[in-house]
Amino acid sequence: MKAVLFVHYGDPDVLYVGEATEPVLKADEVLVRVEAAGVSRADIMQRQGNYPPPPGASDILGLDVAGTVEEVGPDVTAWHRGDRVCALVNGGGYAELVTVPEGQVLPIPEGWSALEATTLPENGFTVFDNMVTRGRLRSGEAVLVHGGTSGIGSTAIMFARAIGARVIATAGTPEKCEACLRIGAQCAIDYTRQDFAEETLRFTAGRGADVVVDIVCGEYITRDIRALATDGRIACIAVQGGVSAEINIASLMRKRGTILGTSLRPRTSVEKAAIATALRETIWPLFPARDLIRPLVDSVYTFADAAAAHKRMEASAHIGKIVLVPSDQRAAVVHT
């Protein structure tokens, strides 16, 4: 099968399309013929040699896909050949075929294309688990979302609005701030020109954010605490700003705040299946309306242009999800 490969770590130009061995289907797995695969920060880090796949996972990049079920293992009961699905995979998404545990598979929402549905798995699992389950965001609360135009950030904005929360988002340019507002944020902060902690407190009349969704961390944590409401929760999802932070513990104690840290990829298939079940029961029914939650595809590249897709992500030029397709037969793209 065709797949996006690399033989040594490095910049995006190490990526190329080559022949890979087809994955071997296990008893509890589904084989998906990939029509679209999402590009994520984890892919960038793995290509650079900074995020190795967990034991037993494919070393081919790609954590979320959409397409058609090609075959199912003998223990699979929920899915059948021909089903239209999207899935959070443990690796191997940048390929024509990929296997995935059946519990990590979800139906493509009614009215969504496979390309559009590829925006959902990694972003949806990550945001729902961190912001809703672990962060306990509820209707009427305020959430501060860093990187509001990223795949994670844009999904967090839409999920939070669907829950009934007030959304504050940060972004690095006036244009991206405008995009955050179009996506659904009620307040957008240009972090290059404004202090996001002060602006969050201003927007909430001094109360602060009940939940902070942080894909930056590093020195941001100190300001997250300043922006936090009493009993607030900071969900650390990524460390683009660095893995270390010096904080005033007393300030966290005064807020009775909680800092949560998590990583999705190393978790077990049972844990990921539980997230999928919660998503399907609570959020998935909202997708057909394409209202508060809608597809947000930034750009589409073929497997042969995977290097260009990675360069776009590394430049933080995207708004929404960057998607790869095996060939140049691209579906319609929804823009902000």
Average pLDDT, the chain: 94
Residue 135, token pair as written in the block? 């962060």
Q: What is the mean pLDDT of residues 162-190?
A: 97
Banded pLDDT at 198 (limits 50, 70, 90): very high
Q: Check whether 241 has a pLDDT greater than 90.
A: no
Q: Please say if the pLDDT value at position 16 is more than 70.
A: yes
Band the pLDDT of 14: cuts 50, 70, 90.
very high
The CATH H-level (homologous superfamily) assignment of domain 2-119+268-325 is Medium-chain alcohol dehydrogenases, catalytic domain (3.90.180.10)
Buried-exposed string 128-150: b where 16+ CB fall within 10 A, e elsewhere = bbbbbbbbebeeebbbbbbbbbb
Instruction: Tell me what pLDDT residue 334 has.
Output: 38
Condensed to tens digits (0 to 9), the pLDDT of residues 148-173 reads: 999 999 999 999 999 999 999 999 99
- The domains of the chain are located at 2-119+268-325, 124-261
Same topology between domain 2-119+268-325 and domain 124-261: no
pTM of the model: 0.93
Q: What is the pLDDT of residue 125?
A: 97
How far the first Cα of the chain sits from its last, in Å, is: 34
What pLDDT is attached to residue 328? 63
Element (H, E) at 230: strand 228-236
- CATH class of domain segment(s) 124-261: alpha beta
What whole-number percentage of the chain has pLDDT above 70? 97
Q: Which two tokens stand for residue 164?
A: 């009934």
Helix, strand or coil, per DSSP, at residue 82: coil
Per residue in 50-94, pLDDT tens? Answer: 999 989 899 999 999 999 999 999 999 999 999 999 999 999 999
| Sign of the torsion formed by the C-alpha atoms of 143, 149, 155 and 157 | positive
Per-residue pLDDT tens digits for 287-321: 999 999 999 999 999 999 999 999 999 999 999 99
Mean pLDDT of 193-218: 96
In DSSP notation, 266-332 reads TS-HHHHHHHHHHHHHHTGGGGGG-SSS---EEEEEEGGGHHHHHHHHHTT--SSEEEEESSS-PPP
268/102 Cα distance (integer angstroms): 13
Q: What is the mean pLDDT of residues 234-258?
A: 88
pLDDT at 329: 53
Which 3 state secondary structure label does DSSP give 233? strand
Residue 169 vs residue 327, higher pLDDT: 169
Percent of the chain beyond pLDDT 90?
89
Q: Which pairing describes strands 64-72 and 2-5: parallel, antiparallel, or unpaired?
A: unpaired
